[in-house]
Chain A
Amino acid sequence: MDAAFVPGVAVVTSALSLRKILGEVVDPEIPVLTIADLGILRKVEEAADGTIRVTITPTYSGCPAMDHLRAEIERVLGEHGHDRVAITTVFAPAWTTDWMTSEGRTKLEKYGIAPPRQDPTEEILCPRCRDDGSRLVSEFGATACKALRVCSSCGEPFDHFKEI
């Protein structure tokens, strides 16, 4: 198995600091999550000629944030003196919410969005009161990655980051 495609982010050779730098890039629609938290950032490596090769994968086919993220990656690397950047978008293996880091899940819940479950037989907890009773209002929320639910205990609506 390619070492680059394990959950989280594989870091190749001296790219450790680059991975940290790119950890500053946040998802424009859920600004508490970085592309590392989401598992969108698949690989960072420095080529012999100094080009930084970044591999990313989209969450959903039509994710409108991808163009923005590519521009952000170039901008952030540029600020750190890396002007030669090559960004590749890969589709296989397809992104899954299993790649979201546990840190990402914690940040998501604090932000008010129920994180994707690692075990989909578990109940979804209300991010406000942590009650496990809620009802699906809509399979599709404000963005492709979220569904809309309402808590049966505190009565508040909340977004759930869907497992895919």
Chain B
Amino acid sequence: MSRLHEYLIRLADDNLILSQRLSEYISRAPELEEDLAVANIALDHLGVAMHLLSYAAEVQGDGRTADDLAFLRSEREYTNVLLVEQPNVDFAHIIARQFLFDAYQTGLWQALAASNDETLAGVAAKAAKEAAYHLRHSSGWMIRLGDGTAESHDRAQAALATLWRFVDELFAGDDLDAEMAATGYGVAPEELRSEWDHRVDSTLTAATLQRSEDGYQRSGGRNGFHTEQLGHLLGEMQWMQRSYPGLQW
């Protein structure tokens, strides 16, 4: 398997899995406008995943299509970060998960827009605009929830406490990241951390919310070791293709 292919897969999987999670929530948001927002954000992530998986399939050239890669891999073959597979729980969790991830992807896509790989740079330049818009939405809600009622504040703080353990993984580069950064195709995620800290802290201050500082951190997603949540998600996402192989719309 080529290293570029592997790299594209991890970038794609973050977006594919988050898109699936967001889609589960459509029709359950607290107001119609947020149903539309969640649907649109899910669609943006799905589009990015689709373009990256198509390119990954092309790079590999072994006959597998983007759909095969999306629907016919096993759980261990998904290399998304653990954050994006975490369950929806309530609106505060959806917003907090999105906020932490948008702040990461905003920097990531800006950096990857300068990739030596022309196709990846093109997808990233497009996604950078969308991530900035997503971040504006999720930041606005973090502030509204955190600085809102006692109930909304507590829920937002609880969501942060639950999700904070998946933050370090976003910036924990491995051999593949280092190799891709060295060739100019990719970016070392460690370099995105300080800007992320700044972005997140300024919003949390406005939201009267605290970072969760118990120091407990989980990782493993990049190596295919997932929380139990992913299996359930894949069971639903892959059911159609597993039950009716080759089914086309």
Contact = CB atoms under 8 A, between A and B. Distances in A.
Contacts of B51: 61, 91
Please classify how large the interface on chain B is, using the bins under 10, 10 to 19, 20 to 34, 35 or more: 20 to 34
A61 B41 contact: no
A90 interface: yes
Given A61-B123, A63-B47, A144-B44, A164 B129 contact: yes
Given A60-B44, A140-B33, A140-B40, A164 B133 contact: yes
Contacts of A164: 129, 133
A137 B33 contact: yes
Given A92-B118, A94-B129, A139-B136, A62 B48 contact: yes
B109 to A, nearest CB: 10
Interface residues of A, number: 23
A91 B126 contact: yes
Given A61-B51, A138-B36, A139-B37, A91 B45 contact: no
A78 to B, nearest CB: 22
Contacts of B43: 60, 62, 64, 144
Contacts of A162: 133
A150 B109 CA distance: 33
B47 A61 contact: yes
Contacts of B14: none
A91 B40 contact: no
Contact of B45 (A62, A94, A140): A62
Interface in A72-97: 90-95
Interface in B99-152: 118-119, 121-123, 125-127, 129-130, 133, 136-137, 140
Contact of B46 (A62, A93, A137, A139): A62
A23 interface: no
Contacts of B129: 94, 164
Interface in B8-67: 33-34, 36-37, 39-41, 43-48, 50-51
Nearest to A145: B40
A94 B125 contact: yes
Contacts of A148: 33, 36
A59 B228 CA distance: 36
A38 to B, nearest CB: 15
Interface of A: 58, 60-64, 90-95, 137-144, 148, 162, 164
19 contacts: A60-B43, A60-B126, A62-B45, A62-B46, A62-B47, A91-B123, A92-B118, A92-B125, A94-B126, A138-B33, A138-B34, A139-B37, A139-B140, A140-B36, A141-B36, A142-B36, A144-B40, A144-B43, A148-B36
